[in-house]
Amino acid sequence: MTLVARSNERLRAIDDELGGETLCVAANVSNADAADSVVSRTLDRFGTIDGLVNNAAVIPPFASLADAPVIDVVASMDANFYTALHLSRAVAPTMVQHQRGSIVMVNSAVVRHPKPLFGAYNVAKHAMLGLARSLALELGPAGVRVNTLAPGKIAGERLDSYFVLRANELGVSVESIRDDYAARLALRRIPSSEEYADVAVFLLSDLSRAVTGHTLDVNGGEYFD
């Protein structure tokens, strides 16, 4: 397995958690040459690539698309779209050569329900959805599948920070904000990052071998679409 991130510290932490059997590459794959280098090093180490999970994401400052600085829109496209484009293009030749492979785009619920003030993020994630569908059509004849995972809220530090922000704005407890959100979900709880990872593994595996070009909503039952 190859892990890619911009931070060596983050890579080391995940590598330790997985037992130190991974190839860790610190790179900014919004650059096509960096993505090609990651794939080259992976092939040198493992000989082939069976699956790719595009999980890079950055939420730009909250602003309407009509007012957002162009630099924020560009940054959103770099992090949320071009990383997936470059890595997917880089792994495609070896997957086509071996006539198998699975690419998973970790997207967002905004492709179902765009949100105000998320303009640059909405645009980038919809571009990623178009990328997944186009690649599914192009690579399907070679046995390569491309699917989209659309998460809702994910339990963890980032969401906890949002709950703290909302609690301070409204003058209520963090627990009340968390409980209120969970109550809107059919499961009455906020899914964990591990549960989202399980769905990505499903889309990578042969259990989903007849599934391609699909968007799988993973949101604890926040909505049914």
Supply the residues annotated as catalytic: 121
The answer to whether the CB of 59 falls within 8 A of the CB of 121 is yes
| Alpha carbons 46 and 132: distance in angstroms, whole number | 25
| Alpha carbons 54 and 59: distance in angstroms, whole number | 16
For 46, half-sphere exposure in the C-beta direction (CA atoms, 13 angstrom radius) is: 17
| Alpha carbons 86 and 35: distance in angstroms, whole number | 6
| Alpha carbons 148 and 108: distance in angstroms, whole number | 9
Partners of residue 105 on adjacent β-strands = 54, 148
The answer to whether the CB of 120 falls within 8 A of the CB of 186 is no
> Which backbone phi and psi does 190 adopt, to 5 degrees?
-90, 125
Sort strands 215-218 and 144-151 into parallel, antiparallel or unpaired: parallel
- Please name the amino acid found at residue 207: L
CA dihedral 9, 13, 15, 16 (to 10 degrees): 130
